[in-house]
Amino acid sequence: MLKQQSLLQKKQSTVQNANCVVMVPPKEFAFNAETAQDNEFQHQVTESTSQVRLAAMQEFNAMVISLRQAGVQVVEFDYPLGEVETPDAVFPNNWFSTTAKGELFTFPMACKNRQHEVKVDALAEALQQAGRTITLQDSLTDYLQQDAHLESTGVMVKDHVNKTVYAALSQRCDREVLEDYSKRIGYDRVVSFQTALPSGKPIYHTNVMMAIGESFCVICDEVIPEFERRFVIKSLAKDKQVISISLEQMNNFCGNILQLETINGEKVIAMSQSAYDAFSPAQRAQLASHGKLLPFNVKTIENIGGGSVRCMLGEVFLPSRKKQL
């Protein structure tokens, strides 16, 4: 009984969901030929670059407004331009992460032009101006010298309550870097696994195939080899409602969703309109029991960038000095 009470207290004191996110405007957004080498979710289009960026910016702005109206703090990081264009800067969750202890981590990204997105000093300043406290800056970018990569919460889906990291191994998710980072943040378990799409290629980012909330998870388990699949599902099912999605649903970004909290502690689940429409009515009802569903139309960003709503949200767990929208 005492052990159960201790476990319950531990879980109650651990925050699964952020109430603040970083979003980056897609002012250099375009089809990224470098990332398309292993991202099968990207598509080239016939529209001009200016047309694409206008549509992407409209989607971005509408999403920022809606999140703020829902009560989620949004830090709009209007990053300084560099000599190299960063077409995927709208997906900031791949290069940084934060902890409730005030730590800000930066990560080694696989694609050369994406490495130019890492602007840690400017981000730290923006976060501090938003009322967040940073006590430590740490970086794993030295691993680039070994050609080893770890693209933050793109490749790591975290169960903060159980201090467990789930990760699909790929060229963007190196096992050694994964283990190192997990130790640095004091997480007890790493559940890594292989994946395979119908093409035979691995999933490029774990967060397109699975999402973990406080008491639920969404997962496209059919892309995991059977001998590993049973272990992953068993681990998740210990204290989560497991919502399994099909390959077709994953291709509509049903796995790329994120549970957040408002500044008043209410649960919301951010997803794209594509994902919302692809979930079955029963699945939508299951998800709605865990928080208000917030669907956003980001079809341009999804189609060309190969990432969706979750990829656009860099969670901020840093301690807050004040509540601010």
Q: Phi and psi at residue 184, in whole multiples of 5°?
A: -60, -35
Task: Mention every residue, 6+ apart, whose C-beta is less than 8 A from residue 304.
Answer: 29, 30, 31, 42, 43, 44, 45, 52, 56
CA distance 259 to 250: 17
Q: What is the pLDDT of residue 303?
A: 86
Digit-coded pLDDT (tens) for 284-320? 999 999 999 999 999 999 988 888 999 999 999 999 8
CA distance 51 to 291: 35
Q: What is the pLDDT of residue 322?
A: 58
| 268 within some domain | yes
CATH number for the domain harbouring residue 136: 3.75.10.10
CA distances from residue 266 to 112, 166, 291 in whole angstroms, order as listed? 39, 25, 7
Tell me 132's DSSP state: B
Closest CA to 240 of 207, 265, 212: 212
| 4 within some domain | no
Q: What's CA 292's distance to the chain center, in Å?
A: 19
Q: For the chain, what is the domain count?
A: 1
CA distance 6 to 250: 37
| Regions in the chain scoring below 70 on pLDDT | 1-14, 31-46, 322-325
Task: Mention every residue, 6+ apart, whose C-beta is less than 8 A from residue 205.
Answer: 39, 94, 151, 154, 155, 168, 170, 172, 307, 311
Digit-coded pLDDT (tens) for 106-156? 999 998 888 999 999 999 999 999 999 999 999 999 999 999 999 999 999
Question: What does pTM read for this prediction?
Answer: 0.91
Q: What is the pLDDT of residue 40?
A: 55
Query: What sign does the dihedral 317-240-94-258 (CA atoms) show?
Result: negative
| 10 within some domain | no
Which range marks the domain in which residue 195 is found? 16-315
Q: What is the pLDDT of residue 17?
A: 97
Query: What sign does the dihedral 296-302-305-310 (CA atoms) show?
Result: positive
| 266 within some domain | yes
Side by side, the strands of the sheet bearing 258-261 are 258-261, 267-272, 292-296
Query: What sign does the dihedral 174-178-179-181 (CA atoms) show?
Result: positive
CA distance 81 to 86: 9
| 214 within some domain | yes
| 321 within some domain | no
| 259 within some domain | yes
| 264 within some domain | yes
- Total residue length of the chain: 325
